[in-house]
Amino acid sequence: MSPISVRRTLPNAWREVWLFFWRDVLIARTYRTAFLLESVEALFGAAMLYYVARFVDSPSLERALPQAGGYFAFSLVGFIFLDYLSVSLDSFDRSLQEARDSGTLEHLLVTQTSLPVLVAGSAIYPFVVTTVRIAIYIVWGVAFFHFPLYAANWLGVFAMLAATLLAFCGLGIFSASYLLLFKRGNPGKWFFLSISSVTGGMLFPVSILPDWLQFVAHLNPVSYALDGMRTALLGGAGFSALLHPLGVLLAFAAVLLPSSVFVFAWALKRTKMNGTLTHS
């Protein structure tokens, strides 16, 4: 029995999200070596960070880092998190662009699928793949480079991942709206990623930044997401320590998600008005 028929009983929206996911699985299966190559790439990525950490680690640096595991653990979490942030920002507009360029967008929009399902369904596979890739990074880190997982609060990790996903999806949907309207990549996305590479705390703690950049970091959801993730994964902190970053991320999500869906619907309407749905 195929996975499609196994889920026949799911409500329509979930069933359709599953159909989109399964479509992408089938497409990915035609690139047979991609998974293997990505796994090898993850191994080399983890190795690079490990040797950079061996080069820079010192007792004073370890004291400056908020959690256990030294600079390797700190930078690996930051590095894989950047991957997650990129996919959150990219997956919506990339799937939209692919649908537009292949001509499937028109045909998707004349099916009975609703707009939110179409948007969510097209993005779910990249999120799943990135989550798997992150897991592979961590597995390599644990297996070969002593990545410290002994203290991890897994429930906290998953809660942080879910909140991060919700908060960043809104940014991704904004980016897709921009693409729909202007037919080009979003410069706002590039700016946000650039700002986040400095103020997000990916490769160094936010505390070493000058005051004004620390202020910017406090406005950036990436810094909360990374702080919470490191606290749960490396520091093994309980939920009480995660309440602050979780609350901030959920507040970002509560604002960004509905407003981005609203803007996307408006951009789609505008595109239909102008007759430029299939233009690239």
Partner 1 sequence: MPETLICVEQLQKFFPPARSGWRAFLQPFERATSVALAGISLEVRDGEAVALLGTNGAGKSTLLKILATLVLPTSGKASVAGHDTVEDSRAVRRQLGYHAGTDHGFYPRLTGRQNLLFFGRLNRLSQTAASKRIVSLAQRFHLEDSLDRQVRTLSTGTMQRLSLARAVLHEPCVLLLDEPTRSLDAIAAAGFRRYLKNEILRRGNTSLLFASHTLSEVEMLANRVAIIEKGRLLACDTPAALKRYTSSDTMDEVFLRITGRANPGGAHGDSAADSESASS
Q: What residues line the site for partner 1 (CB under 8 A)?
A: 2, 4-5, 8, 12, 15-16, 19, 23, 26-27, 30-31, 102-114, 181-183, 269-278
Which CB sits closer to partner 1, 77 or 173? 173
CA count, 13 A, side-chain hemisphere, 40: 5
Q: What minimum distance in Å lies between the beta carbon of 194 and partner 1?
A: 21
Q: What minimum distance in Å lies between the beta carbon of 121 and partner 1?
A: 9
- Say which DSSP state 30 is in: T
Which CB sits closer to partner 1, 183 or 244? 183
Which CB sits closer to partner 1, 19 or 203? 19
Write the secondary structure of 243-278 as one string of H (helix), E (strand) and C (coil): HHHHHHHHHHHHHHHHHHHHHHHHHHHHHHHHCCCC
Dihedral (CA of 189, 193, 195, 199) sign? positive
Q: What minimum distance in Å lies between the beta carbon of 193 and partner 1?
A: 21
State the angle between helix axes of 239-274 and 154-182 in degrees (0 to 180), rounded to the nearest 10.
20
Which CB sits closer to partner 1, 2 or 240? 2
Which CB sits closer to partner 1, 189 or 230? 189
In sequence order, the 6+-apart residues with CB closer than 8 A to the CB of 225 are 81, 160, 163, 164, 167, 168, 245, 249
The DSSP-derived string for 183-209 is SS--HHHHHHHHHHHHHS-SSS-GGGS
Q: What minimum distance in Å lies between the beta carbon of 156 and partner 1?
A: 37
- Say which DSSP state 65 is in: S
Q: What minimum distance in Å lies between the beta carbon of 41 and partner 1?
A: 22
Q: What minimum distance in Å lies between the beta carbon of 114 and partner 1?
A: 7
Which CB sits closer to partner 1, 253 or 268? 268
User: Which residue bears the tokens 């359709």?
Assistant: 16
